[in-house]
Amino acid sequence: MAHVLAAAEPISMLKRPPPPNDDEKAPPVNKAARRRDPPSSDPAAALAAARHEFGEHGGVNMSIEASATFTVMEPDTMRKLFAGELGPDRGDLYIYSRHFNPTVLALGRQMAALEGTEAAYCTASGMSAISSVLMQLVGAGGHVVASRCLYGGTHALLSRFLPRTSGVTATFVDADDEDAVRAAVRPGETKVVYVETMSNPTLAVADIPMLARVAREAGAKLVVDNTFTPVVVSPARLGADVVVHSVSKFISGGADIIAGAICGPASLVNSMMDLQDGALMLLGPTMNAKVASELAARLPHLPLRMQEHSRRAGEFAARMQRMGLRVVYPGLQDHTHHGRLRAMANPGYGFGGMLCVDMGTEERAARLMHHLQNTTQFGLMAVSLGYYETLMSCSGSSTSSEMDPNDRALAGISPGLIRMSVGYNGTLEQRWAQFERAFALMQQQDAPSAAAKYCKAI
């Protein structure tokens, strides 16, 4: 199918009521492309400048287009839709909701505004966004240069699933080492350089401008997973070609929805929706319109939520460090990538809501988490992130357990590493008191074995 989706840029124009000199014949999606303000580099400002979708009856929220299929008034319209002469941006016309759905498309416009990309489309999960983009951009026999520090599922996709099913191969490198990245590139074969803005779970921060330069010189696309740092970092504004998200995390914020997004050029979204050749169209990881409507109501407060996640995580990281704990948080001066993140981050949103604390052994990590959840109610032992409650997990034995021990060690994931997604409910001081109490209880149980060791020594 030919071009069906015009550049879904952030716009300040409201769909209802029409502005005075509005061209009545202009189709709604084209109206969206008319922009009055220059695009803002602040994600909150860009989100607010995106078109506000009203409901069918003037509701302040958009209607949910709960239809799998769409009628046309004339048989010829159907032919034109399939020929690409009509579409969402050409007559506000739709075919079938595995293709474009108006509600899902409206959420995509918000995501495009957030990330500063021309277009975006939302999917049923983060993994489906990632796998579809990689399959679309790389193709059989193609090659990917990927960071060694990746989400476990993405690592498995690149190291096992795609080689087995698509003949795609990947070379994992230290993405900090520009020479190593350049050396891993295979001219003509490497189609994608793939990193996470802030890696899971080690919180290493990618040098996006450098990687964008290397990818461009190699004729490859830089694809960045920005799941850990929405609002805080805008990879596309720093040179990334495509930004992918697990919307299940901070963007949803409710720990109740699995969803994903692909943000990039309109040409990419269109190619992924091609009836004959598009990964999203043919693999079909479609987002439900009801889910899109829920998420669209959460995006406006994402910047506020990220500010508070960051503020709490920054404060806790500093206090834990003062207690003598080994803390990994990119907002701390001693983090290897502190300066890099400071240079890349959008001002005013802090350094993100994720922190890691290394308890040395899995046993001590487990004991601390037990008290944090079951004795003092500081947080919940659960994977995932971006919830209003603090979530904690021991990465080595959970989300990164599919990596082999050697890869885990290379990625810097020690057995006692607790990853925390710092929540924002309750007061900061209430939560900190809970942490201190759980830590004291854990230490009391440390004491007998420490004493036993001491006795043996003398």
Give catalytic residues, as residue numbers: 98, 151, 225, 249
Question: Is residue 358 involved in binding ligand PLP (CB under 6 A)?
Answer: no
The dihedral of CA 367, 368, 369, 374: what is its sign? positive
Q: Which residue has the tokens 């034109």?
A: 80
Question: Is residue 330 involved in binding ligand PLP (CB under 6 A)?
Answer: no
Question: Is residue 442 involved in binding ligand PLP (CB under 6 A)?
Answer: no
Q: What is the DSSP string of 162-220?
A: HHHHH--EEEEE-TT-HHHHHHH--TTTEEEEEEESB-TTT--B--HHHHHHHHHHHT-
Choose which of 101, 103, 248, 288 interacts with ligand PLP (CB under 6 A): 248
Distance of CA 69 to the CA centre of its chain: 30
Distance, CA of 339 to CA of 137 (rounded, Å): 32
Q: What is the DSSP string of 223-237?
A: EEE-TT-TTT--GGG
Q: Which burial class, exposed, middle or buried, applies to 78 when counting CB atoms under 10 A from its CB (0-12, 13-18, 19+)?
A: middle
Nearer to ligand PLP, 175 or 266 (CB): 175
Question: Is residue 156 involved in binding ligand PLP (CB under 6 A)?
Answer: no
Contact region with ligand PLP (CB under 6 A), list: 53-61, 120-128, 311-319, 344-352: 120-128
Q: Is the peptide bond before 201 cis (omega within 30 degrees of 0)?
A: yes
Question: Is residue 196 involved in binding ligand PLP (CB under 6 A)?
Answer: yes
Nearer to ligand PLP, 87 or 386 (CB): 386
Instruction: State the DSSP H helix or E strand holding residue 379, giving kind and residue range, or none if neither.
Output: strand 379-381
Q: What is the DSSP string of 72-134?
A: -SSHHHHHHHHTTSSBTTBSS---BTTS--HHHHHHHHHHHHHHT-SEEEEES-HHHHHHHHH
Distance, CA of 341 to CA of 352 (rounded, Å): 10
Nearest-approach distance from CB 229 to ligand PLP, in angstroms: 10
Nearest-approach distance from CB 97 to ligand PLP, in angstroms: 20
Q: Which burial class, exposed, middle or buried, applies to 28 when counting CB atoms under 10 A from its CB (0-12, 13-18, 19+)?
A: middle
Nearest-approach distance from CB 78 to ligand PLP, in angstroms: 34
Nearest-approach distance from CB 31 to ligand PLP, in angstroms: 32
Residues near 256 by beta carbon (within 8 Å), at least 6 away in sequence? none
Token output for 174: 């230290």
Choose which of 89, 225, 358, 389 interacts with ligand PLP (CB under 6 A): 225
Distance of CA 34 to the CA centre of its chain: 28
Number of residues assigned to the chain: 458
Nearer to ligand PLP, 146 or 438 (CB): 146
Question: Is residue 286 involved in binding ligand PLP (CB under 6 A)?
Answer: no
Question: Is residue 153 involved in binding ligand PLP (CB under 6 A)?
Answer: yes
Count the site residues for ligand PLP by CB under 6 A.
15
Question: Is residue 126 involved in binding ligand PLP (CB under 6 A)?
Answer: yes
Nearer to ligand PLP, 255 or 366 (CB): 255
Question: Is residue 151 involved in binding ligand PLP (CB under 6 A)?
Answer: yes
* Residue closest to ligand PLP, measured at CB: 126
Nearer to ligand PLP, 88 or 330 (CB): 330
Distance, CA of 131 to CA of 273 (rounded, Å): 14
Show the CA angle centred on residue 336, arms to residues 331 and 338, nearest 5°: 30
Choose which of 190, 227, 270, 434 interacts with ligand PLP (CB under 6 A): 227
Nearest Cα neighbor of 166 from 157, 178, 175, 155 is 157
8 A C-beta contact, residue 263 and residue 234? no
Contact region with ligand PLP (CB under 6 A), list: 132-140, 168-176, 246-254, 339-347: 246-254
Question: Is residue 258 involved in binding ligand PLP (CB under 6 A)?
Answer: yes
Nearer to ligand PLP, 117 or 246 (CB): 246
Nearest-approach distance from CB 288 to ligand PLP, in angstroms: 14
Question: Is residue 413 involved in binding ligand PLP (CB under 6 A)?
Answer: no
Distance of CA 347 to the CA centre of its chain: 19
Nearest-approach distance from CB 373 to ligand PLP, in angstroms: 21
Question: Is residue 235 involved in binding ligand PLP (CB under 6 A)?
Answer: no
Question: Is residue 400 involved in binding ligand PLP (CB under 6 A)?
Answer: no
Question: Is residue 387 involved in binding ligand PLP (CB under 6 A)?
Answer: no
Nearest-approach distance from CB 144 to ligand PLP, in angstroms: 15
Pseudo-torsion of CA 250, 255, 259, 264, nearest 10°? 0
Nearest-approach distance from CB 124 to ligand PLP, in angstroms: 8
Question: Is residue 202 involved in binding ligand PLP (CB under 6 A)?
Answer: no
Question: Is residue 246 involved in binding ligand PLP (CB under 6 A)?
Answer: yes
Choose which of 125, 131, 132, 229 interacts with ligand PLP (CB under 6 A): 125
Nearer to ligand PLP, 227 or 310 (CB): 227
Nearest-approach distance from CB 157 to ligand PLP, in angstroms: 10
Contact set with ligand PLP (CB under 6 A):
125-127, 151, 153-154, 196, 200, 225, 227, 246, 248-249, 258, 260
